[in-house]
Amino acid sequence: SSSANAVAQGLGFEPVMTNRVDTVTVPKGYRATPFLPWGTPLTANAPEFRSDASNSALDQARQVGSHHDGMHFFPIDVKKGGDSSVEGLLVMNHEYVDPDILHSDGPSQPPRPQDEVFKELMGHGVSVAHIRQQRGGEWILVKNSPYNRRITGNTPMAMAGPVTGDDKLITKYSPDGTSTRGTINNCAHGFTPWGTYLTCEENWAGCFMNDDSEQPREHARYGVRQGNSRYYWETAAPASDDTDRFNASILADSPTEDYRNEPNHFGWIVEIDPFNPRSTPVKRSMLGRFAHEGVVFAPPVEGEPLVAYSGDDARFEYIYKFVSAKPYHQATASGDLLNDGKLYVARFNDDGSGQWLALDINDPVFMAQAQSAGVDFATQADVLLNTRLAADVAGATKMDRPEWGAVHPQTGEVYFTLTNNTRRSEAQTDAANPRAENAYGHIVRWREAESQQAEHFAWDIFLLGGDVGTSTPDTAITLTEENHFACPDGLWFDHQSRLWIQTDMSGPTMQQGPFGNNGMLAADPVSGELKRFLVGPVDCEITGVVTTPDSKTMFVNVQHPGESSGPGEFSSHWPDGNGLRPRSSTIVITRDDGGVIGA
């Protein structure tokens, strides 16, 4: 495919070289300022952050959460058609917690004290922060703004779409299967054309355990654990419904008396209206159930169906596409558009063509495939609760961990990061996942056939990650000291169609590789220009990026600095220094001359 209808924008900054310094490095003429770190008092009456992490669960529920990830800037006047670049709602995900850092002396042994477990649940979720730029250029949190809000692992929510009220959603908390509680493992995000935020539930399965001799497919296919959950939340003492629910074993006579179905309430995309602080978040089940990394919409077209893409970040999982049943109309569009439509999964053929395969109870091809695979689907709710199994049945292409997607604002081409997959064998390679033991990842892209909702596309590989000298045959981009990278994760097109690529290396690639700390690059997909723009502090990943509409302020998230820390022994002290514990944080990036970021 080509970028024929797009114009090269150029990258005007001097590239940053790799390093392993415990700070944020940006190009000459730019500055990066930490903003809204974990623990910042957010809502009314929130207490100050205590640097020894002795804040309580209730404190954490009013403070900025942990492990910042995907985020969006909503201009304060966007619902009136405005595009303020000096005031807005910065809405961000808090993916998970590191108990070694979250608690003063690390986590207690199980059974876990209830207050510790509650603090961990409050560290997850979403922050809505009303922010404003001062005359001198500094960004501040608007204290006591009614918009400032925390959404946590315990916030009451509603189910919407085909699974609502299904038998497999019945729990002690939700006897009719329509209500639910909490969102966790909020990795990347999305935002709708009607001004709402979407948070995506990724590695939720590990937060549950189910010790039944046979787990139902809704649990087993997603990695619900046996024995204990990741953080032993189910052992919280004293026990409560808020924590008992992480044990999904059958413990009573009826699903209204236990939490056997609680994991079925997770793995969804959750819609939040940041402009209505009293609104109930809604889980939009028509977008499928998996380890949702994020969701990205194609630019909406008046009178046409709305189209969105979402990746399932696990080895050998899939890329999905949603097409709304009803057409998009700007004047009336709302979350209802997400309740009805078709969910597709991608097949990448080796000849560069591709196909969207419908996961639809009314599609005779899909149902025949299910039958020949010996898989029963009774309803569309059943298909959606078992989205991964449905995609297996349909014959989708198993990818190298799909992370973020980005849609080119002019061409509609879709770019997707495939972060890595060291378990792919030579025999398992295909044209779209061409490297065995793929430690460095790549970026695939495609162009839909006749329109964004088409069922066919043409694809190529935009970029292969790797050391200096790595070359991508399809685009003839060869990596140099100015841009070699590994493990692409965050991906975003800015308002001038520059593509921002964020990295999330871990393990040996991070510790011993030639890449230094995780960072961020900018690419011009038209010219093939690619430059490293930012290097983060020690043991972090860089994830989440957005600018103001004028492109003069960029917000980037630094997640898990000091990831390899133990209690009291920190491998990073960013951003506070002075031997203090590391804190995930947003950074505000501006240019000394007030210019457009990246230009």
Residues that bind ligand FEO (CB under 6 A): 95, 187, 202, 293, 313, 403, 489
Region from 179-187, 282-290, 320-328, 387-395 binding Ca ion, contact rule CB under 5 A? 179-187
Least spacing, CB of residue 419 vs Ca ion, in Å:
5
Residue 458 identity (one-letter amino acid) = A
Which of 55, 543 has the CB closer to ligand FEO?
Answer: 543
427: helix, strand or coil: helix
Which of 460, 489 has the CB closer to ligand FEO?
Answer: 489
Token look-up 């190529």 returns 460
Structure tokens at 345: 């999964």
Residue 448 as a binder of Ca ion (CB under 5 A): the answer is: no
Q: Check: CB of residue 209 under 8 Å from CB of residue 224.
A: yes
Region from 2-10, 337-345, 508-516, 541-549 binding Ca ion, contact rule CB under 5 A? 541-549
Near Ca ion by CB under 5 A: residue from 166, 218, 539, 541: 541
Out of ligand FEO, Ca ion, none, which partner does residue 360 contact, by CB within 5 to 8 A per kind? Answer: none
Region from 132-140, 244-252, 478-486, 504-512 binding Ca ion, contact rule CB under 5 A? 504-512
Out of Ca ion, ligand FEO, none, which partner does residue 413 contact, by CB within 5 to 8 A per kind? Answer: none
Out of ligand FEO, Ca ion, none, which partner does residue 494 contact, by CB within 5 to 8 A per kind? Answer: none
Q: Check: CB of residue 573 under 8 Å from CB of residue 540.
A: no
Report phi then psi at 587, rounded to 5.
-125, 145
Least spacing, CB of residue 311 vs ligand FEO, in Å:
8
Residue 494 as a binder of Ca ion (CB under 5 A): the answer is: no
Least spacing, CB of residue 70 vs ligand FEO, in Å:
9
Cβ-count burial 39-67 (b if 16+ within 10 Å, e if not): bbbbbeebeebeeebebebebbbbbbbbb
Out of Ca ion, ligand FEO, none, which partner does residue 317 contact, by CB within 5 to 8 A per kind? Answer: none
Residues 6+ apart with CB under 8 A from 215: 224, 226
67: left (phi over 0), alpha (psi -120 to 50) or beta: left
Region from 218-226, 323-331, 433-441, 535-543 binding Ca ion, contact rule CB under 5 A? 535-543
Region from 52-60, 226-234, 430-438, 533-541 binding Ca ion, contact rule CB under 5 A? 533-541
Least spacing, CB of residue 161 vs ligand FEO, in Å:
23
Which of 366, 416 has the CB closer to ligand FEO?
Answer: 416
Which of 360, 504 has the CB closer to Ca ion?
Answer: 504
Residues 6+ apart with CB under 8 A from 276: none
Residue 551: which H helix or E strand, with range?
none
Residues 6+ apart with CB under 8 A from 332: none
Least spacing, CB of residue 465 vs ligand FEO, in Å:
15
Which of 491, 589 has the CB closer to Ca ion?
Answer: 491
Which of 173, 404 has the CB closer to Ca ion?
Answer: 404
Which of 432, 491 has the CB closer to ligand FEO?
Answer: 491
569: helix, strand or coil: strand
Out of Ca ion, ligand FEO, none, which partner does residue 541 contact, by CB within 5 to 8 A per kind? Answer: Ca ion
Tell me how crowded residue 570 is: count the other CB atoms within 10 A of its CB.
Answer: 21
Q: Check: CB of residue 595 under 8 Å from CB of residue 30.
A: no
Q: What is the DSSP letter of 163?
A: T
Residue 201 as a binder of Ca ion (CB under 5 A): the answer is: no
Report phi then psi at 115, rounded to 5.
-65, -35
Region from 56-64, 152-160, 172-180, 538-546 binding Ca ion, contact rule CB under 5 A? 538-546
Out of ligand FEO, Ca ion, none, which partner does residue 534 contact, by CB within 5 to 8 A per kind? Answer: none
Q: What pairing do the DSSP bridges indicate for beta strands 414-418 and 541-547?
A: unpaired
Residue 382 as a binder of Ca ion (CB under 5 A): the answer is: no
Residue 218 as a binder of Ca ion (CB under 5 A): the answer is: no
Tell me how crowded residue 141 is: count the other CB atoms within 10 A of its CB.
Answer: 18
Contact pattern for Ca ion over residues 452 through 491, marking x by CB under 5 A:
-------------------------------------x--
Least spacing, CB of residue 533 vs ligand FEO, in Å:
20
Q: What is the DSSP letter of 234?
A: G
Out of ligand FEO, Ca ion, none, which partner does residue 202 contact, by CB within 5 to 8 A per kind? Answer: ligand FEO
- How large is the C-alpha radius of gyration of the chain? 23
Region from 8-16, 52-60, 241-249, 499-507 binding Ca ion, contact rule CB under 5 A? 499-507
Which of 244, 489 has the CB closer to ligand FEO?
Answer: 489
Q: How many helical (H) and strand (E) elements, i.e. helices and strands, does the chain have?
A: 9, 32
Which of 166, 539 has the CB closer to ligand FEO?
Answer: 539
Which of 292, 347 has the CB closer to Ca ion?
Answer: 292
> What span, in angstroms and rounded, lies between the C-alpha atoms of 357 and 360?
9
Near Ca ion by CB under 5 A: residue from 201, 234, 504, 524: 504
Out of ligand FEO, Ca ion, none, which partner does residue 95 contact, by CB within 5 to 8 A per kind? Answer: ligand FEO
Query: Cα–chain-centroid distance for residue 485?
Result: 20
Which of 262, 489 has the CB closer to ligand FEO?
Answer: 489
Least spacing, CB of residue 93 vs ligand FEO, in Å:
9
Structure tokens at 109: 């042994």
Which of 151, 160 has the CB closer to ligand FEO?
Answer: 151
Least spacing, CB of residue 400 vs ligand FEO, in Å:
12
**CA 470, 475, 476, 482: dihedral to nearest 10 degrees?**
-50
Following DSSP, what letter does each residue of 52-70 receive, concatenated?
A: TS---HHHHTTB--SSEEE
Report phi then psi at 451, rounded to 5.
-160, 170
Which of 154, 543 has the CB closer to ligand FEO?
Answer: 543
**CA 296, 298, 299, 304: dihedral to nearest 10 degrees?**
-130
Q: Check: CB of residue 378 under 8 Å from CB of residue 385.
A: no
- HSE at residue 13, side-chain half, CA atoms within 13 A, is 30
Angstrom CA distances, 438 to 424, 445, 512, stand at: 7, 18, 16
**In the complex, which residues of this chain contact Ca ion (CB under 5 A)?**
187, 489, 504, 541
